[in-house]
Structure 1
Amino acid sequence: MKLDQIFSVSLIYATFRSATPIIYAALCAAITQQADILNIGTEGIMLTGAFTAVAVSYMSGSWLMGILVAMAAGFVMAGIMALAHIRYKAEICAIGMGINLFALAITKFMLNVIFGTSGTFSDPAICPIPRVHLPFLEKIPVLNQIFNNWTITEWFVIVLIIIITFLFYKTRWGLRLRAVGQFPMAAQTAGINVNAMKYQAILISGLIGGLAGAHLSLGYSQMFTENMTSNRGFMGVAAMYFGGAHPVLTAIGCLVFGFADSIGARLQAYGVPSQFVLLMPYVVTVVVLSVSMISKQISEKKKKSSLAYVKSL
């Protein structure tokens, strides 16, 4: 086993490529978390978007139409969550798990009904998300390996991180969203419609979750496989906790998952047992969650000690 072949320049792009679907999922969870809503249903929203994107792309021959309809499907799934949680006071974790199970069942059923197959659907008629080729990078081998031939949605996720960061911390809407999440009674007293803000957060997260699924099935691959999200939605939630729902820090957490996945895939080529490779992302998930929880406990202790010191003065 040669380490230089595993830790090569191409590993940088491989890490980002593997992390991109998780980044979308994490941003989906981060938006609702700012409103103090844990979006466990990210996995189901992604899976629904992945199937819808493939089906529409196959039937229409348009990758853009596939993405738009996938986002609409994610919007509908998120709407169900929002209605159940906000209007009918259902426990958000319970309704989120219900959405995940429903998405798993309905995509499997529709795969059989529409395409007459089970397991996997792949066809040359599926129109994938195009890749952006930059000819001037061909003269710079290192940059060519890292930045050339990215899909449009891989470039867009960077733009989306910037946009959401700006919305969270530089706009009145973001201030109100964070106020609703941290101080709902104070926000209501200030005249903010708390329920309306929560609806907006969940529905916007549905759009991003649908986009995450579309990227997974049309950008990351060119097919649909039953349960193809493979817990990426849950990894996104874990990364969101790691980053404290901050878009940039959350994306960094996702890169950790992408790095583990890319390293695992390369190790498998050198005879490392597949069971160990498949285990790596879940081990990383546990480690990331543990680190984030410990950090949160330490920060809370510091706050309590500071408050006690202030009171003693």
Structure 2
Amino acid sequence: MRRSHRELAARTRYGSGVRVTPKLPHCDQLPVVLPPLTDELLSSWIHRHATFYDVPPLAMLRHCLDAISSLRAVDLVLTDEQASRVASMFRTDAANVRRMSLSNILPKSCRLIAAKPMQFCAACARQANSSGPEPVRRSQLLGWRLTCPQCCSQLIDGDKRSNPSPFADYWTDALDGQRLIDDEAERGVRAWASPTELARLLLMRRDPRTAHLKRSGSFRLLGVVVPEADAIVVENQISLPSAANPILPLWLRPALLAGVSIVEREGPAMLTWLQSKIIGQNRTRFSELVSTMLSTHPGPEPLSLLQHN
């Protein structure tokens, strides 16, 4: 029979003995703290504690953050004060709590954070060996990752398909694109252009006359830099996402990341060439986004520029 959270809080086993602890609703710190896994997402860690204490996950979190709206909110927007309060309840350091969240990700790169896990590392999953709900790692939500940041193994699609990517010839460039976006998103490091914004530019619609296949109206600038992408889009009858939501399925992602690497390596002149492949209103939007991206004193980000591409 499953024990309630009060029973769990009142009688907590330590080895062969039994230790009496205060009930969860009346304690400032949890009597039992589960060790986080490497790269575990903060909400996942909280969820595992909620399962252990037999309480709803949000109720567990509101024990220290009473105004929080959801577990995802604590992943994406975590203030220093909130990190300190969570750290106190879970008897750890605030720095450890912040590292488990995604609050360090640059705002522009948050477009590349998925709402739910998209991929996983088979090697790390085998080593997890944890009871309760399956842990979620930060890297499972990052739409620019191809490899595990912990062991460097190639990630597997969330539906556990392991089909090889049709862009194997671009793998080296794709890994470089992953590095560029990761440096910007996680550490705020970039070269002459934002790799995150380059990814968005490559997903803008291009002049249909620049393609020679059916359904050319759905083709993006990516096919100009990585020509194989056009044929694969047609063959698989898929539509690439818009620049407003630049997360590609794992098997297609190498093309976009390779495109980012190629454009970054070629320099600003390539942006002029790409602009020549666009017509109409999109050309103006392209120019505006590039101007903002290259500005030495960037103002507010034009978040609405590409919402309808």
Q: TM-score, normalised by structure 2?
A: 0.24
In terms of fraction of residues, the more helix-rich structure is 1
Q: TM-score, normalised by structure 1?
A: 0.23
